[in-house]
Structure 1
């Protein structure tokens, strides 16, 4: 109207105002714009008018029926009468029916969170991304801990699936990084930790979990099975965390890592970037947290084993080797998610990498040839029929070497050569290098002897005579003078 009052033509004024000429004429004429009577009649016949009662009956019986299912049902009952292009029309009719007559939908009640009140835990799987370590797929999941008020979070790589040990170790680590303890620790039902366990085993896990929370002064709670939204303060952020991980992997340009520690450091950096964005709220919530106890809670599972005459023991369906000096001894195991700490007489002896049995794969083995090589050198022929020979040989190159030598030499000579090379590898800590060199030599038609391997991989002594050290013997009179000076002093 301002432009029209200045004498601007209707066409130009409409263009400057960004409206059509027709709307401009209505404004000039004082007619209402966009506020006319709403239409409540159809502009074309309803194609489902004759059968809508039948469709409504089916919806009344099964309200979850989809429009596509109903359209296919009509096409079967009335061939040629309801073509596919009517699907969108039927979807609108079904949606309108549900709004008037359908069952109530689940109501979500938004919660108000107080600082220091709730810290939630849950496990999640990083889907649609294959993470590898040195080219090998890493089968893992993440334990995600998050404060409901500030959004402070912690994520840990879990190798052995959802279990009490994984939960306890990751929770203890998260609280240490946080520097405080929330009042309540809600989780899901931890069904994976209880699956296939008898009543006594389930009760044992429940008691240990309650004891862990009591140690930190937290109130444990679990949401109703199948009601993941009750854990929504961590369930929903799963997606944000995993999206950030995928984006950082794309930015990195590779999903392959040189070691598990490198991948864990990568996850820590992603989590740190999330926490940096919530720094002010995190600082406010830290002030409301309870202090940490003076010592860490029990975040492992204990077991007692006896070392057999083959210098091995079995834990959780996995056969492990230990040094031969422990044969016949009883060991107490502290089992963590990724390692076993062996104790004897109250003292920690050593740590072994933990192996987890893959579903359907049967028993597995974790054998270190260095534990038994001293005795295997005395009994090299035992290698031929050893029950865990393939696991004792360090890698695929060594297994290939054994089979090639067995085809070229007698069983006794092949065992002697492999065992002699293993002893050299243990002494010089160079099993991969020896395996690669010997495998390549065999592929080229050459069979290196033990003497050749020793000459190549043993440390070289310096050639030529040793240098002569020059020294001067002090005269005895010098010592007398020294003693006399001390006496006068």
Structure 2
């Protein structure tokens, strides 16, 4: 009813939106995700990126900071809808309703936060309307591409970046004018992750948000720090970086989900191949559907223990020696020729022999008398442990630190 006008650098809008009319897949598997959309009200300059999972604070923090960095400046106000990541959505004062983390994020960039009224989405029309424009352009890009399937999220992200680049092209002049009215970026980014402390289990796994992740076996029993992003986990031991894992999200109704990297567990699996038969996350040890189907054929066509030894060795070769595609091609070809065996696999790829287990070292116990040369002669001849003996030791030039009793040595 009331036409609105904004000043350069006055306000930016951000929102999450879902792609509904096309089904994006990664290597043939559904890819549930959201799009984060940021837009300057005066110039119409926009930024967008893929968000894994839901409308979490870490997704909001990363998306907003990436948008501000890409823009090169900060407006005076940031407008959102009723994001649970930003406010508790209770009745009363907005200043009291805003979450401490979102308040700290806005304070770091000098932003004044605001939101629309509950259930009145058109109050954020500056970004709500263009959400549809972005998704229509994305759909057209996918039609021209001829496929909605991608190898990696980064490939999908590049296509989305092309969409926003085309949207920003006619607004370039106004954006440059508005850029002069934006506040400068701070020297450092605000934390766009959650910090968790977990202990690595004896199974070389950690559990984060009801998802089991494998980690290097050298961490078993250690307490590690996890930086939890919306799309990845970064694991630290103390202050040292250890590894980065893709973040997984369980399906609705699942109590547990698994994210297993065979690189972490392959040496243990090769040492105990029968574990492959009854492992709780057996399906997740295989890189794709073809490997899984071949494993099912081995189980149906022969002796189970032999099948487990062969498959564990094949996975080891694929991880350590060759590639998954090359090893699977050999297995399928050998099976057709009825010449598939463990020895044939090892000969084909020249697999190095397993390292023999080293015997426990034998360390001879030294005599307690070997410590005598460390004790001043006066302390040995004086005897006793009272004040007189202590005074005699001091006169002889002994160290001031008290000596342990002989019965406690070693």
Shorter-chain-normalised TM-score: which range?
A: 0.7 to 0.9
- Listed one character per residue, the Cα deviations across residues 20-73 of structure 1 (whole Å, up to 9, x for unaligned) are xxxxxxxxxxxxxxxxxxxxxxxxxxxxxxxxxxxxxxxxxxxxxxxxxxxxxx
Q: Counterpart of 1:372 in 2: which secondary structure? A: helix
| Contact 1:164–1:205 (CA under 8 A) maintained in structure 2 | no
Taking a change above 3 Å as real, the CA distance of residues 213 and 430 of structure 1, as seen in their structure-2 partners, is same
Q: Which has more radius of gyration?
A: 1
Q: Counterpart of 2:274 in 1: which secondary structure? A: helix
Aligned residue number for residue 454 of structure 1 = 346
- How far apart, in 2, do the equivalents of 1:109 and 1:225 lie? 19
Q: Counterpart of 1:384 in 2: which secondary structure? A: helix
| Contact 2:74–2:109 (CA under 8 A) maintained in structure 1 | yes
Deviation at 1:447, TM superposition (A): 5.3
Taking a change above 3 Å as real, the CA distance of residues 376 and 135 of structure 1, as seen in their structure-2 partners, is closer
Q: How does 1:151-170 map to 2 (within 5 A)?
A: 151-170=44-63
Larger deviation, residues 447-456 vs 255-264: 447-456
- How far apart, in 1, do the equivalents of 2:251 and 2:14 lie? 24
Taking a change above 3 Å as real, the CA distance of residues 248 and 318 of structure 1, as seen in their structure-2 partners, is same
| Contact 2:322–2:349 (CA under 8 A) maintained in structure 1 | no
Q: Which runs of 5+ in 2 are unaligned?
A: 89-95, 352-410
Structure 1 position 383 matched with structure 2 position 284: no
Taking a change above 3 Å as real, the CA distance of residues 447 and 183 of structure 1, as seen in their structure-2 partners, is farther
Q: Which of 294, 298, 301 is the matching residue for 2:187?
A: 294
Deviation at 1:329, TM superposition (A): 1.1
- How far apart, in 2, do the equivalents of 1:436 and 1:210 lie? 55
**TM-score, structure 2 as length reference:** 0.79
- How far apart, in 2, do the equivalents of 1:162 and 1:436 lie? 42
Larger deviation, residues 394-403 vs 235-244: 394-403
Aligned residue number for residue 69 of structure 2 = 176
Aligned residue number for residue 257 of structure 2 = 364
Structure 1 position 240 matched with structure 2 position 129: no
**TM-score, structure 1 as length reference:** 0.66
| Contact 1:162–1:193 (CA under 8 A) maintained in structure 2 | no
TM-align CA RMSD: 2.4
Deviation at 1:434, TM superposition (A): 1.8
| Contact 2:60–2:85 (CA under 8 A) maintained in structure 1 | no
Q: Which runs of 5+ in 1 are unaligned?
A: 1-107, 196-202, 460-489
Structure 1 position 136 matched with structure 2 position 38: no
Say which structure, 1 or 2, has more relative contact order (CA 8 Å, 6+ apart).
2
Deviation at 1:436, TM superposition (A): 4.3
Count residues with an aligned counterpart. Answer: 346
Deviation at 1:251, TM superposition (A): 3.0
Q: Which of 321, 338, 358 is the matching residue for 2:231?
A: 338
Q: How does 1:44-55 map to 2 (within 5 A)?
A: none
